Amino acid sequence: MSNDDLASRILGFTRFLVHAADRVDHAALGRGWLDHEGQPTQEGRELIEALLGQDTARSAYRLAC
């Protein structure tokens, strides 16, 4: 996955965590998921990797319910 794709996914996830008036990029920077240039950090990469790893778990859970 490219850095742009990772950054986009990080910002998308961060959008769920912040108040509507807050800047999403500042929140992601403050959490250490993006650097000052808007590129994903190692922590940001690990976040997206963990979220992508849950995709099948959620699907299996939905099927079981």
Do the Cβ atoms of 30 and 41 come closer than 8 Å? no
Q: pLDDT tens for residues 20-59? A: 889 999 999 999 999 999 999 999 999 999 988 876 665 5
- Could you list the residue range(s) of the whole structural domain that residue 45 is in? 3-64
> Please, are residues 13 and 22 in contact by the beta-carbon 8 Å criterion?
no
Residue 65 has pLDDT above 50, yes or no: no
Can you tell me the distance from the alpha carbon of 21 to that of 12, in angstroms, rounded to the nearest whole number? 15
Q: What's the pTM?
A: 0.80
Higher pLDDT, 6 or 61: 6
8 A C-beta contact, residue 27 and residue 14:
yes
- Give the pLDDT score at 30: 96
pLDDT at 37: 97
The count of structural domains within the chain is: 1
